[in-house]
Structure 1
Amino acid sequence: MALRGVGAKPLSERGQIEVREVAPWNEPGLTRDQRVIEFCEDLPITAGKLAGTKMKLRPWQCDFIRAVYADDAEGNRPVRTAVLSMGRKNGKTQLAAALALCHLLGPEAEPRGEVYSCALTRDQAAKLFAEMVAILKGHPELDDRCNVVRFTKQIEVLSGDGEGSIYAALSADAGSKLGLSPSFVVYDELGSAPNRALFDAMDTASGARDNPLMMVISTQAAADHAVMSELIDYGLKVQAGELDDPSFHLTLFAAPSDADPWEPTTWELANPAIGDFRSFDDVKRQAAQARLVPSKEAAFRNLILNQRVSAVSRFIHKAEWDACAGTVDLPSLDGRECYAGLDLGATRDLTAFVMVFPDDQGHFDVAARFFMPEANIADRSNEDRVPYDVWAKQGLITLIPGATIDPGFVADVLANAAARYNMQALAYDRWRIEDLKRELGLIGANLPLTPFGQGFKDFSPAVDMLERCVAEKLLRHGGNPVLNMCAANAVVTRDPAGGRKLDKSKAAGRIDGLVALAMALSISKRHEPEALPACLAELID
């Protein structure tokens, strides 16, 4: 055949390009990271006012490369996972394309290597492929060694470093990723991924390689339970010295949550290229709009300031909720007075059982249990875009055998809790409670059940109590990820009289845990002893 793929160069025309005797990245005396930098800076810029000139890495880009590609004393690269997170439009696509080419046919290439770029959709995956092809077109010496198959979005290396290697663009909506053995993976905008399936598939597939590298270049996700958030939180612990893991590197450009979002100095913290190839005027325009249009503020914070902020307005501010995490010593709660809330989900949904333990200072320790049916847990995780299956393996969710919630199983848990703790009241929603009461009767459990209405009249005081406890840092919830998810999803609705309640129909996801927490706090308030009048208190004294 004369052609190998649509748009490929005829084989008869190959090998006629004048090749430099020594490529810049192969000059003697260069360290590993210097070779990577030299390779990138030999590539052309393909778009914009600098199109046709060679790439010039900025100091912050060089710092990232030096951190990732530095060798240890044995001459090996310790880093296996590298995360670069910053605001949108800071040149991440060109940097990712340059590094992918470096691993495909540059100084980081290996014989018969496999290089992949991953993205949420096929169109997004095609953008990085298109950038790599444009770079090759502007670099005849490298282009002569490659065969581009546009239909399948693949690049084959025919000669030189990396001979026999392939590159392919993958998307989360594609089929099975089994059988791959990646030497280098770059995941574009992992923060937008609906689940962790593609990331895990690529991360676990590289075990056959001696020196694999998984690189993530993305803005932050909006939720704590997203895989991108988990990576950043892990990287921050490594940076703080809480974890010793030389195989993981994080470079994070993000504005602190308490920074003034309208100040240019704040923009610079999340946009290292601002005023350079990231337009200052464009950021200024978006900031001005977000300041005047409240619905745009969250998106500006997330996409431009690279803050972990949902684009939907929530009932509880994340920073306030996180400030109440604290540490809960579960064994020390045995025998202590407690109040509980139970939110029974539908037969296939999340069921939440939350207990609060008041102390002498007016604070509450929180202990939460969650239940889901075991059947089809993976499907529900994908449907809700929440890692229920991972949380179940971590013991944060109890899986009940079968396809529905067994009220007998929940009854046993409640009875055991009442025996272990000094339970004063258990608030419950009347919906579906009869099945549970029957099961409690069968095992002879006499619990202090207290009905709790879900309308504005009964729930408005519960919302007020929950809001006050969070604002005044009266809670210690231990940072339970499932409860964190419920808090992040929670929204409230108002009636004409100004009453409020947590609204499941308007929430972006499950809020069962927060509903149970609000009921538990409210029922504890009802059981507080009334203060004696001053005259009686004096007589008793």
Structure 2
Amino acid sequence: MSLRGVGAKALSERGKVAERPVKPWEEPGLDRPGRVIAFCEDLPITAGKLAGTKMLLREWQRAFIRAVYAENAEGVRPVRTAVLSMARKNGKTQLAAALALCHLLGPESEPRGEVYSAALTRYQAAKLYKEMAAILQAHEELDDRCNIVRFEKQIEVLFGPGSGSVYAALSADAESKMGLSPSFVVYDELGSAPNRNLFDALDTATGARAEPLMMCISTQAAADHHIFSELVDYGTRVNSGDLDDPSFHLTLYAAPQDADPWDADTWALANPAIGDFRSREDVQRQASQARLVPSKESAFRNLILNQRVSATARFIHKAEWDRCADAVDRRALAGCECYGGLDLGATRDLTAFVLVFPGEGGIFDVVPHFFMPESNIAERSNEDRVPYDLWAKQGHITLIPGATIDPGFVADVLANAAQEFDLKTLAYDRWRIEDLRRELGLIGASLPLEPFGQGFKEMSPAVDVLERCVAEKLIRHGGNPVLNMCAANAVVTRDPAGGRKLDKSKATGRIDGLVALTMALSVSSRYEPEALPACLAELLG
């Protein structure tokens, strides 16, 4: 690995510092987590009011280390992926630097190990390098064993434990990371990554190591479909006992979505270091500003309370939408009455076809279908920063061969749905509908199509119905990730009379699925008013 280069010191300057015969982490009686803790607490603090003193881990930091580095009955550390999520300014960089050094040349090191820090940009990843370099330069004994190559942002171990190991800072250019064999990776602020490519490249590169460890330390991402959100959700299920996976660990410090954001007790839930090395006065200042300036509230909730909150105000509250995520049994709906909404995207965009099935208690089962061109799926995934390619593999998006949406392919799916279910009507946006009508005619399919205007006149009462259905838990959408994305992106605009409509031009991403769902719910009452509860039927007149 790393060759000596600009910034490296001469080998003749190394090996002159007398080492202690027994290091603190080599004291008898320590278990594996104890050795990691002892190593970290032998490192110096290099900045701030405590500069020059030894690092003293807090109990919450010790608990994280004990959970991650604990051994099983065979003497093996089972954890391979560790996630630590908390608000900003709680000392994550110093803890990550200490653990990276522990794997580089401390008790967790191995011969010719590869230790990496990863982040959105190389500058961000290099922040960990700077902290590690500062610690080494203030620790004469460890510094004597290392060579710091400043130009390359690398550290190489010359002798002693971890001999031949190298540390490097990596950026998000995943394509250049396929030849690595990491023994330890710390991914800083994974929640801000534009896609999952670098994470996947590093995670799948650890197979050659006996006990690799991927550690992700970040505040929460804003969207449910983000890779870091997926990790947090998976870890939550592991912690609750729903999943049995000893290779995964999550420590999450976050305020509940329904907690009072202005209560000091709420702040402590996401800031384990508050009142210690996390300034309570600074949090108070930001809370006061966010309370008076609505545009700052979302950032405060995300960065200070570590909540999964977008910086853009959502039309549908996430907690309400998630309460409607009960599973839908599509096979049990065969032959049942249903109503549809169709939002045809542009030739290269997402097309949405959503069916709603009225059931007992006025509750609608929602069955969505999504289409995208196959040839540009990777490009669209990167542009929109959502995993369309992964969702396609999972069966949530149907890929149409070619570079554009083939209306004939969509027509076949619509015709098959009309045969499988009792489709009463299909509301459509007039965009590109003539192409679809032509293809339906070619295959001899006669569908109950009904135009649905996208202006305030028709959309305003439909938006009211959607909002009420979500708020009163009158839909079951099954947690479809593409529909979840559309709901998260949706915003509405108002006309002077107070009417509302879903606005694609102002949305933070694609909302086609929610538009189709809105149309389907709206037309359902036009043909079977009793399908809706009285309160919703009244909204539609």
Supply the AA of the counterpart residue of 2:286.
Q
Distance 1:19 1:402, change over 3 A: same
Match of 1:320 in 2: 320
**Aligned runs of 1:33-72 on 2, under 5 Å?**
33-72=33-72
Supply the AA of the counterpart residue of 1:56.
L
Distance in 1, Cα, partners of 2:374 & 2:13: 60
Distance in 2, Cα, partners of 1:144 & 1:245: 40
Match of 1:183 in 2: 183
Post-superposition Cα deviations, 1:240-269, rounded to whole Å, max 9, x if no partner, equal: 111110000000000001110000000000
Match of 2:107 in 1: 107
Distance in 2, Cα, partners of 1:53 & 1:130: 18
Match of 1:351 in 2: 351
Supply the AA of the counterpart residue of 1:138.
A
Match of 2:470 in 1: 470
Q: How many residues were matched structurally?
A: 529
Distance 1:530 1:200, change over 3 A: closer
Distance in 2, Cα, partners of 1:178 & 1:467: 46
Distance in 1, Cα, partners of 2:79 & 2:125: 24
Is the counterpart of residue 305 in structure 1 residue 305 in structure 2?
yes
Match of 1:435 in 2: 435
Match of 1:241 in 2: 241
Deviation, structure 1 residue 29: 2.0
Post-superposition Cα deviations, 1:240-299, rounded to whole Å, max 9, x if no partner, equal: 111110000000000001110000000000000000000000000000000010010011
Match of 1:494 in 2: 494
SS of equivalent to 1:228: helix
8 Å contact kept, 1:122–1:173: no
Match of 1:285 in 2: 285
Supply the AA of the counterpart residue of 2:359.
D
Distance in 2, Cα, partners of 1:529 & 1:128: 62
Q: TM-score under structure 2 normalisation?
A: 0.97
8 Å contact kept, 1:356–1:366: yes
8 Å contact kept, 1:60–1:272: yes
Match of 1:130 in 2: 130
Distance in 2, Cα, partners of 1:102 & 1:485: 40
Distance in 2, Cα, partners of 1:325 & 1:212: 36
Match of 2:537 in 1: none
8 Å contact kept, 1:363–1:475: yes
Match of 2:167 in 1: 167
List gaps (5 residues or longer) in structure 1: 532-541
Distance in 2, Cα, partners of 1:272 & 1:524: 50
SS of equivalent to 2:326: coil
8 Å contact kept, 2:174–2:201: no
Supply the AA of the counterpart residue of 2:405.
I
Identity of aligned residues (%): 80
Distance 1:174 1:381, change over 3 A: closer
Supply the AA of the counterpart residue of 2:442.
L
Match of 1:412 in 2: 412
SS of equivalent to 2:242: coil
**Aligned runs of 1:355-370 on 2, under 5 Å?**
355-370=355-370
SS of equivalent to 1:98: helix
Match of 2:393 in 1: 393
Distance in 2, Cα, partners of 1:473 & 1:396: 23
Deviation, structure 1 residue 470: 0.6
Supply the AA of the counterpart residue of 2:134.
A
Match of 1:507 in 2: 507
Supply the AA of the counterpart residue of 2:496.
P
Task: Report the RMSD for the aligned CA atoms in angstroms.
Answer: 1.2
Match of 1:206 in 2: 206
8 Å contact kept, 2:174–2:197: no
Match of 1:522 in 2: 522
8 Å contact kept, 1:408–1:439: yes
Supply the AA of the counterpart residue of 1:254.
A
Match of 1:383 in 2: 383
Match of 2:275 in 1: 275
8 Å contact kept, 2:255–2:267: yes
Q: TM-score under structure 1 normalisation?
A: 0.97
8 Å contact kept, 2:181–2:208: yes
Deviation, structure 1 residue 526: 1.6
Distance in 2, Cα, partners of 1:84 & 1:530: 50
Deviation, structure 1 residue 174: 6.8
Post-superposition Cα deviations, 1:140-175, rounded to whole Å, max 9, x if no partner, equal: 100010001111100000000000000000011475
Deviation, structure 1 residue 5: 3.5
